[in-house]
Amino acid sequence: MPFVLLNTIFCRYLKPRNDALTAFPRKPALLLALVVLTGLAAHPAGAQSAIAEGEKLAFDRGKGNCLTCHVIKGGDLPGTIGPELKDIKAKYPDRNELVAILFDETKRNPQTMMPPFGRNRLLTDQEISAIVDFLQTL
Amino acid sequence: MMKARTALLLGSLSAALVAFALTSPRVVAADKVDPVADAKAFQNFFFQKFPNVKHEDFVNGPYSMNEDMKRQWQEKEEFPPYEFALDAGKEMFATPFKNGKTYADCFPNGGIGIRQNYPYFDTGEGKVVTLELALNRCREANGEAPYSYVKDEMASLTAYMAFTSRGKAMDIRIPDDRRALEAFENGKRYFYTRRGQMNFSCASCHVQSPGERIRAEVLAPALGILNALPIYRSEWSGMGTTSRRFITCNSQTRAVPLEPQADEYRDVEYFLSYVANGLPISGPGARP
């Protein structure tokens, strides 16, 4: 077997050692997200601020840090590892698809470089939701 | 999108291969440790992925991947920023310890022109010995305190030793010893295992993505990635040892770094150096 491809295989056998954080309970985040979402539906002004918040989270180096790998309109010093994020709504009309990509892209593509932001608790469900709102404006 | 599709395809392909391997003992047997075949496959992977890069150029890290950067670097090499470390290293190397001995007494050929043979597998100890480790052992054997593995003194010494070996082909041996094969295999496993919150393996960045930019930095190819060490980095405004680079790569991706010269780091250095056999030593290096 071409061992150059082995990394997906190893990660199936060996639990990454530093993933202690994945053990956190998820319920509170879900609840919070629900509360926020209900709030949003009632107040369109809230949607605007969720988009702004999503952009901030996406660009923040300590949070999404999406510019590490993606060109995104309005962001500086992007990397080239992932595709440019544009025309997102046309490509992914269903926002759940975007949530899934952010939650754990290794589900779609075991080899992907994209970190599993949700699964590994890099972002909360609420933060992912805000970023998805922002992505849908691109 | 093409890229993503191919990756998807490869992903499911290797998943299929695992499933196959799990049900077929014969395949598992055929998959036994074969460093010669591994090194060949490793080198071919990069030679085919970058057909325009001259083989001996892979040892120049990000510069081998990007023409513009290469030009800037070649201009910089006229006044190399690691020169101060080279001068310091040369002097340290020649200065006797309190007991009158020198580093030269600890190494084959007085320590000159031998960088390409490190790390080596020590059959007495049953472990990999890196150049940094050998230097500190030399100090301790002569009654001196060891140096930090991540600071300037160690970088200066290894810079000087690399410099005296420039152009020599990496020449790492795997002795006929079960433990040496295990060390190689262990290093390979470490290199390909995903870890940390970001879920990266070393290979994610240095096999899957060399030449790509991660933010503003161009990723070095894994082939020959240690031949240029130690390196000067403007970002560090100073020199970095191999230990420092490994720890930085781990912590920047929010993986818990190991202690310098932990067994896994020694093994990964053994693996990466062995698969670079035949490629010239180019250290010390300078990076933007």
In a domain, B75, yes or no: yes
pLDDT at B30: 44
Closest CA to B242 of B159, B163, B171: B159
Cis peptide bond upstream of B230, omega within 30 = yes
Nearest by CB to residue B199, choosing from A12, A69, A115, is: A115
**Average per-residue pLDDT in chain B?**
89
Which pLDDT belongs to residue B76?
A: 75
Q: How confident is the model at residue A2 (pLDDT cuts 50, 70, 90)?
A: very low
Any A CB within 8 A of B36 CB: no
The string of pLDDT tens digits covering residues B199-257 is 999 999 999 999 999 998 999 999 999 999 999 998 888 999 999 999 999 998 888 99
- For the beta sheet containing B238-240, the strands, ordered from the edge strand earlier in sequence to the opposite edge, are B238-240, B231-233, B285-287
Residue B145 confidence (pLDDT)? 98
Residue B5 is assigned to a structural domain of this protein: no
Contact status, residue A12 vs residue B194, Cβ threshold 8 Å: no
Peptide bond just before B119 cis, omega within 30 deg: yes
Please tell me which of the candidates B3, B15, B195 has its beta carbon nearest to residue A18.
B195
Q: What is the mean pLDDT of residues B183-205?
A: 96
The answer to whether residue B73 sits within a structural domain is yes
Cβ atoms of residues A84 and A71 within 8 Å: yes
Q: Could you read off the pLDDT of A71-90 as tens digits, one per residue?
A: 999 999 999 999 999 999 99
Query: Are the Cβ atoms of B11 and A8 closer than 8 angstroms?
Result: yes
The per-residue pLDDT for B27 is: 36
CATH code for the domain in which residue B107 is found: 1.10.760.10
- The residues of B assigned a catalytic role are 249
SS3 content of chain B, % helix, strand, coil (to 5): 55, 10, 40
- Cβ distance B209 to A81 less than 8 Å, yes or no, reads yes
B184 pLDDT higher than 90: yes
Q: Are the C-beta atoms of B89 and B135 separated by less than 8 Å? A: no
Contact B104, B110 (CB under 8 A): yes
Convert the pLDDT of each residue in B10-42 to its tens digit. 444 344 333 333 333 333 344 578 999 999 999
Q: Do B214 and A108 touch (CB under 8 A)?
A: no
CB–CB contact B198 A120 (8 Å): yes
- For residues B167 and B157, give the distance between their C-alpha atoms in angstroms, rounded to a whole number: 18
Amino acid B37: pLDDT:
96
Asked whether residue B61 is domain-assigned, the answer is yes
Identify the pLDDT of residue A123: 97
Sort out which chain B residues have CB atoms less than 8 A from A112's CB and list them: 4, 7, 11
**B5 min Cα distance to partner chain A (Å):** 9
Amino acid at A7: N
Does residue A31 belong to the interface with chain B, where contact is any CB pair within 8 Å?
no
Domain span including residue B87 = 34-288
Are B201 and A7 in contact (CB < 8 Å)?
A: yes
Size of chain B in residues: 288
| B193 in reach of chain A (CB within 8 A) | yes
Nearest chain B residue to A78 by CA distance is B215
B213 is in an annotated binding site: no
**Nearest-by-CA chain A residue for B32:** A1
Strand partners, B240: B231
Cβ pair B189, A10 in contact under 8 A:
yes
Q: Residue B11 domain-assigned? A: no
Instruction: Enter the pTM of the model.
Output: 0.85
Structural domains in chain B (count): 1
Tell me the shortest Cα–Cα distance from B270 to chain A, in angstroms: 17
Closest CA to B173 of B128, B204, B211: B128
A62 and chain B: CB distance < 8 Å anywhere? no
Q: Is A67 in CB contact (< 8 Å) with chain B?
A: yes
CB contact under 8 A, B41 and A3: yes
A37-41, A43-47, B276-280: segment of lowest average pLDDT: A37-41
Taking alpha carbons only, the member of A76, B147, A122 closest to residue A68 is A76
Is B7's pLDDT higher than 70? no
Domain membership flag for residue B9? no
How confident is the model at residue A3, as a pLDDT?
52
In the predicted model, is pLDDT for residue B89 greater than 50? yes
Is residue B166 classed exposed, middle or buried when 0-12, 13-18 and 19+ CB atoms within 10 A define those classes? middle
- What six digits make up the tokens of B1? 């999108």
